[in-house]
Amino acid sequence: MMNGEGSIKEILEWYISAGVDVTCGEEPYCIEQKASDKFSRQEDLSPKTEPIRQATTNLAQVTGAACQNAKNICSAAKTLEELKQALENFDGCALKLTASHTVFGDGNPQAKIMFIGEAPGADEDRIGTPFVGRSGHLLDKMLEAVGLDRNQCYITNILPWRPPGNRTPLDSEVAVCLPFLKRQIEIIAPDYIFTLGGSAANALLESAESISRLRGKWMEYKRENGSVSKVLASFHPAYLLRSPGQKAKAWADLLRLSKAINS
């Protein structure tokens, strides 16, 4: 089908249209497939479901160990600088291999308000700062509309590395990066957290609810010392750019935040 002159160009165009915009090596590679291949090559494993069960168990163990390692590293970091350095040195998440920058939080470390997004996009990956692309410009306007700017807030993401092609993060990637977010929350101790999009709300609140159900009501995040950060979930600016009809609800959420911080 893909013989002749135009074939490589067509394949590359197809990859780009499917969101594949980075190559990590010369051979196509699929982690899940490699794991199950490995087990299916072993000779006397029967019944046939055994290799899959074993591969899944092994992947879960690897993820569990990486999460524990991340937690240990994070508890040792006493300041944001130490945490940033620890994250730069951390090798427990494969997303780092395809990212150009580790995108740590930005803004005022003494802020009482923290905004949490999902993961860096292409612009953030290129520059190394969260929310500096189209979504970031909208976020800046949203802040401005309620009299805030980046000097009064701290802005970060669930993941510090861009998933290739902006794909949805895997649960294992979120799990292994979450200790770094939670440690940022411990160090900054914000009174208010405003999550942007479903992934951020679900990861922080350990919920599986849709963002439409979660948004618009105050919830709580309990920090290690028992203090509470009040959490308001809202839509992600990227979603608002695609669905401007939802901006009224996001505006209502911002007003709720503004009322709380000014009361």
Least distance (Å) from ligand URA to the CB of residue 137? Answer: 11
> Of 130, 160, 179, 190, which lies in the binding site for ligand URA, with binding defined by CB under 6 A?
130
> Of 157, 172, 195, 202, which lies in the binding site for ligand URA, with binding defined by CB under 6 A?
157
Residue type, 174: V
Site pattern 203..242 for ligand URA (x: CB under 6 A): -----------------------------------x----
Least distance (Å) from ligand URA to the CB of residue 238? Answer: 6
Note whether 128 and 101 are within 8 A (CB).
yes
Q: Which of 107/136 has CB closer to ligand URA?
A: 136
> Of 92, 105, 107, 117, which lies in the binding site for ligand URA, with binding defined by CB under 6 A?
117
Length of the chain: 263
Q: Is 131 near ligand URA (CB under 6 A)?
A: yes
Nearest CA to 196 among 124, 142, 126, 263?
A: 142
- Give the neighbor-by-neighbor strand order of the sheet with 218-222: 106-107, 153-157, 113-117, 192-196, 228-234, 218-222
> Of 35, 66, 111, 118, which lies in the binding site for ligand URA, with binding defined by CB under 6 A?
118
Note whether 133 and 166 are within 8 A (CB).
no
Q: Is 124 near ligand URA (CB under 6 A)?
A: yes
Q: Which of 35/253 has CB closer to ligand URA?
A: 253
Neighbouring C-beta atoms of residue 65, cutoff 10 Å? 12
The dihedrals phi and psi of 217, each to the nearest 5 degrees, come to -130, 145
Within 3-32, which residues bind ligand URA (CB under 6 A)? none
Give dist(CA 159, CA 120) in Å, integer. Answer: 7
Binding site for ligand URA (CB under 6 A): 117-121, 124, 130-131, 133, 135-136, 157, 238
